Chains A and B, each alone.
Chain A
Amino acid sequence: MLGRRWWTPWLWLAPALALLGVFLVYPVVDTLRRSFLDERSKNFVGLDNYRFIIDNPQPLVSDTHSALLNNVMWLTLFTAITVSLGLIIAVLAGRVRYEAVAKSAIFIPMAISFVAASVIWRFMYEFNSDIGTANAAVTSLGGDATAWLQNTNAPQTWLTDAGPDTLPRPIQINNLALVMVGVWMWTGFAMIVLSAGLKGISTEVLEAARVDGANEWQIFWRVIIPIMSPTIVVVATTLVIQGLKKFDLVWVMTGGRFKTDVVATLFYKEAFRIGDFGVGAALAVVLLLWVLPIMVISIRRFQFQEETR
């Protein structure tokens, strides 16, 4: 009997395992190996590449600290803003007649290629206010035009003309401008998933809360948000992972200049522009280790949901 032999399941799994091995396991193992070798992957250098990331000896060429901090900013600010906006729009759109139109308009950016969107937004952020919509809006309101993608100052220095630059480093005008593009692209996704979760709440539960004496604000915070928390977690995890592996947007819009590098753009630069495979691989490993716990959490959560179904 074929079905009883120990290797039968492996036979069926073999094609999938082979593909995974070639395209996932091998690159990971090889990247790990290279992260302990020198720039041409010839001599063993121990933890030198990781020391490079920590010590940041060449801040002008490849600022590893700034890239790490920028990624922290991406995963917090980008996630927080996108989830909140998605939730607000999902709630508000559910209350208007032209719900489908409103939602489609907000979802459309998801359908555009990220590179194309980045190009569009480079025009939007153009300094010349005859071309750049952002500056056109600012100047028409009586403000001063700014170089959105080059300005590394904290936002308040621009608002107050020349105030003290006190906010911590990654919070700079050009980084925020980049994050807003990410938010523009991903709010649609957050909105669609959250609004499905919102529709899943029975109207009778909301009416029960109303009869129980809750006002709209209390219903939102004490009934809707807790019931939707599993959906919010799913959306947030997806966005955190997006924030961590952000590459395309930064690469197209600034190329990582003006302290906008993130880990993904920096390891590409190190490996393929500067030609130091060691540091590039080490940065990739850092990113992998960073994403790993979030993946584990979301997989665990998925398994838990499967079990309780």
Chain B
Amino acid sequence: MARVNFDHVTKRFDNVVAVNDFSLEIPDREFLALVGPSGCGKSTTLRLLAGLEEISEGDIYIGDRLVNNVAAKDRDIAMVFQSYALYPHMSVYDNMAFGLSLRKLPKEDIGHRVHEAAQILGIEDLLKRKPRQLSGGQRQRVALGRAIVRDPAAFLLDEPLSNLDAKLRVQTRAELSKLHQRLGATFIYVTHDQVEAMTMATRIAVMNEGLLQQVGAPQELYDWPDNVFVAGFIGSPSMNFFEAKVAGSQEGMHLDTGIFRVPVPASRVNDLLSYLGKEIIFGIRPENICDPECQPASADAAPVTAQVDVTELMGSEVFLHLVAGGKLFMARVDPRTRARPGQEIRVEFDMGHMHAFDPQTEEAIRSKEKGQPSRGQAG
């Protein structure tokens, strides 16, 4: 087990910068999720750590060892690939034993370790089978088993759940969390699915276009996104954004989007004082927009009238696609709502959960000590 340290790492492919000045310290035993849209450089970052790609600039440390020029085979890390990458000609047992036999471990030792890992993963009865005789979920377990037996310094997982069906994915998610607790190892998990990242990770690192956007605990990223990208990426359905003008005065400050006007709660007035009379990006999550007929109004509720475009019933909730002044946005409301497509309804914005971003830098506007009420306090 070991900590992993990226120190100003850059990776260029010809003229394309895949990873740009990436610095991140991952402490021992952490479950770090690396998320971002396709092509954001997250997989490349993982491959740099695995030694499958060469670093263009910067240093990577595993433990205290600089591994820039250490071959993949000598880095003492294990990797689970998206396609599982099992050796098709070997039995499950041999697949798991391969890495150990390369290290010339005694036979009994290998057998012991393989059986122990197989037991953890519940694949003891599959050890004699070939990969092609296994289902997707079973293959995925074997790929994990191959990593576990090695007892590596760090586990690297590259979208390991993306080839599983939806139900199995949810189940495996929980099992991976359990496995992480049980092994007490450093996990670095790459995914494009923010739900996987939110549910499993101790910390999440969000990447976009090769740049690290924000690192933090899942709840922190959800509550305090540093910029528009993170705000839009974390959370599903994603945050609604409006261009708005900060109007009024310190006593009666409000946001004017040209479509509706909503008051700024007292706790946020100080943050926005310097933007008085200027444009900002106003963000609010769909779950902070409610139907007042079904839910008691919160302290900072601000009414907005909108046309219902589409309703998506999820069972436990309804997603409303709303239109106001030609602008589309979403609300996530109680399933008892009577809103129907084509109707005009009045929804309430819970302004205690508002987000504000600078339109030029797209950075969050807030005071240093994060004075915004968290989700738990309101609602």
| A interface list, Cβ under 8 A from B | 202, 204-205, 207-215, 218, 222-223, 226-227, 229
Does B88 belong to the interface (CB within 8 Å)? yes
Q: Considering the complex, give the chain B residue whose CB is closest to the CB of A228.
A: B89
Does B83 belong to the interface (CB within 8 Å)? yes
Question: Knowing A204-B83, A227-B88, A227-B89 touch, does A209 contact B50 (C-beta < 8 A)?
Answer: no
Does B85 belong to the interface (CB within 8 Å)? yes
Contacts of B90 in A (CB 8 A): 226
Chain-A contact segment, one of B21-29, B74-82, B266-274, B361-369:
B74-82
Contacts of A212 in B (CB 8 A): 73, 78, 98-99, 102, 146, 150
Q: Is the CB of B88 within 8 A of A213?
A: no
Q: How far is the CA of A212 from the CA of B82 in the complex (A)?
A: 16
The 8 A-B pairs with the shortest beta carbon distances in the complex, nearest first, are: A212-B99, A204-B85, A208-B85, A226-B89, A213-B73, A210-B72, A213-B102, A211-B79
Q: Is the CB of A214 within 8 A of B52?
A: no
Q: Is the CB of B83 within 8 A of A202?
A: yes
Q: In angstroms, how far is the closest chain A Cβ from the Cβ of B148?
A: 13
Q: How far is the CA of A276 from the CA of B68 in the complex (A)?
A: 75
Q: How far is the CA of A262 from the CA of B150 in the complex (A)?
A: 56
Contacts of A214 in B (CB 8 A): 73, 98, 102
Question: Which residues of chain B in 57-87 are interfacial with respect to chain A, using CB atoms and an 8 Å cutoff?
Answer: 71-75, 77-79, 81-83, 85-87
Q: Is the CB of A205 within 8 A of B103?
A: no
Q: List 23 A-B contacts (CB under 8 A).
A: A202-B83, A204-B81, A204-B83, A205-B87, A207-B50, A207-B52, A207-B72, A207-B79, A207-B81, A208-B79, A208-B87, A210-B52, A210-B71, A211-B78, A212-B102, A212-B146, A213-B74, A213-B103, A214-B73, A215-B71, A226-B89, A227-B89, A229-B89
Contacts of A226 in B (CB 8 A): 89-90
Contacts of B87 in A (CB 8 A): 205, 208-209, 223, 227
Q: Is the CB of A211 within 8 A of B86?
A: no
Question: Which residues of chain B in 77-135 are interfacial with respect to chain A, using CB atoms and an 8 Å cutoff?
Answer: 77-79, 81-83, 85-90, 98-99, 102-103
Q: Is the CB of B86 within 8 A of A205?
A: yes
Q: How far is the CA of A209 from the CA of B89 in the complex (A)?
A: 13
Q: Is the CB of A211 within 8 A of B77?
A: yes
Contacts of B86 in A (CB 8 A): 205, 208
Q: Considering the complex, give the chain A residue whose CB is closest to the CB of B156.
A: A211
Q: In angstroms, how far is the closest chain A Cβ from the Cβ of B162?
A: 13
Q: In angstroms, how far is the closest chain A Cβ from the Cβ of B62?
A: 13
Q: Considering the complex, give the chain B residue whose CB is closest to the CB of A230.
A: B89
Q: Considering the complex, give the chain B residue whose CB is closest to the CB of A226.
A: B89
Q: Is the CB of A218 within 8 A of B102?
A: yes
Q: Considering the complex, give the chain A residue whose CB is closest to the CB of B152.
A: A211
| B interface list, Cβ under 8 A from A | 50-52, 71-75, 77-79, 81-83, 85-90, 98-99, 102-103, 146, 150
Q: Considering the complex, give the chain A residue whose CB is closest to the CB of B80.
A: A208
Q: In angstroms, how far is the closest chain B Cβ from the Cβ of A181?
A: 35
Known contacts A213-B102, A227-B89; 16 additional CB pairs below 8 A are A204-B82, A205-B87, A205-B88, A207-B50, A207-B79, A210-B51, A210-B71, A210-B73, A211-B75, A212-B150, A214-B102, A215-B71, A218-B102, A222-B98, A226-B89, A227-B88
Contacts of A207 in B (CB 8 A): 50, 52, 72, 79, 81, 85
Contacts of A211 in B (CB 8 A): 50-52, 72-73, 75, 77-79
Q: In angstroms, how far is the closest chain A Cβ from the Cβ of B338?
A: 52
Q: In angstroms, how far is the closest chain A Cβ from the Cβ of B46?
A: 11
Contacts of B81 in A (CB 8 A): 204, 207-208
Q: Is the CB of A215 within 8 A of B73?
A: yes
Q: How far is the CA of A227 from the CA of B89 in the complex (A)?
A: 6
Contacts of B89 in A (CB 8 A): 226-227, 229
Partner of B99, one of A205, A213, A227: A213
Q: In angstroms, how far is the closest chain A Cβ from the Cβ of B147?
A: 9
Contacts of B98 in A (CB 8 A): 209, 212, 214, 222
Q: In angstroms, how far is the closest chain B Cβ from the Cβ of A9?
A: 35
Q: How far is the CA of A212 from the CA of B143 in the complex (A)?
A: 11
Q: How far is the CA of A202 from the CA of B51 in the complex (A)?
A: 18
Q: How far is the CA of A207 from the CA of B50 in the complex (A)?
A: 9
Q: How far is the CA of A207 from the CA of B146 in the complex (A)?
A: 14
Q: How far is the CA of A223 from the CA of B353 in the complex (A)?
A: 55
Q: In angstroms, how far is the closest chain A Cβ from the Cβ of B373?
A: 46
Q: In angstroms, how far is the closest chain B Cβ from the Cβ of A226?
A: 4
Q: In angstroms, how far is the closest chain B Cβ from the Cβ of A225?
A: 9
Q: Considering the complex, give the chain A residue whose CB is closest to the CB of B88.
A: A227
Contacts of B85 in A (CB 8 A): 202, 204-205, 207-208
Q: How far is the CA of A211 from the CA of B86 in the complex (A)?
A: 12
Contacts of B88 in A (CB 8 A): 205, 227
Q: Considering the complex, give the chain A residue whose CB is closest to the CB of B158.
A: A204
Q: How far is the CA of A211 from the CA of B51 in the complex (A)?
A: 8
Q: How far is the CA of A204 from the CA of B43 in the complex (A)?
A: 13
Contacts of B79 in A (CB 8 A): 207-208, 211
Contacts of B102 in A (CB 8 A): 212-214, 218
Q: In angstroms, how far is the closest chain B Cβ from the Cβ of A272?
A: 49
Q: How far is the CA of A218 from the CA of B72 in the complex (A)?
A: 14
Candidate in B83, B85, B86, B88 with the most chain A CB atoms within 10 angstroms: B85
Q: How far is the CA of A204 from the CA of B146 in the complex (A)?
A: 14
Q: How far is the CA of A204 from the CA of B77 in the complex (A)?
A: 15
Q: Considering the complex, give the chain B residue whose CB is closest to the CB of A206.
A: B85
Q: Considering the complex, give the chain B residue whose CB is closest to the CB of A229.
A: B89
Q: In angstroms, how far is the closest chain A Cβ from the Cβ of B165?
A: 21
